[in-house]
Amino acid sequence: MEYGLVGLLILALDIYAILKVISSGASTGAKVLWILGILVFPVLGFIVWLIAGPNGRRLSA
């Protein structure tokens, strides 16, 4: 049961990330790459998008 809830949470977060990527001002190529990354690596792709994505938080030097 716990794994089902975790999977559902990951699915919801990935759908949110994909919708944000689609609505971003990034180029079509960048959008396709972000969406593929999120779909192929659901957890890692979401985390990377959250940190460095088109609308994600930027890391400052």
pLDDT given at position 55:
53
pLDDT given at position 2:
76
User: Within 13 A of 47's CA, how many CA atoms are on the CB side?
Assistant: 3
State yes or no: pLDDT of 59 exceeds 60. no
17: its two tokens: 């990330």
Whole-prediction pTM value? 0.80
Query: Would the CA dihedral through 39, 42, 47, 48 be positive or negative?
Result: negative
- How many Cβ atoms are within 10 Å of 17's Cβ, its own excluded? 24
pLDDT tens, position by position, 3-43: 888 999 999 999 999 999 898 888 888 889 999 999 999 99
Q: 3-class DSSP state for residue 18?
A: helix
Separation of alpha carbons 4 and 27, rounded Å: 35
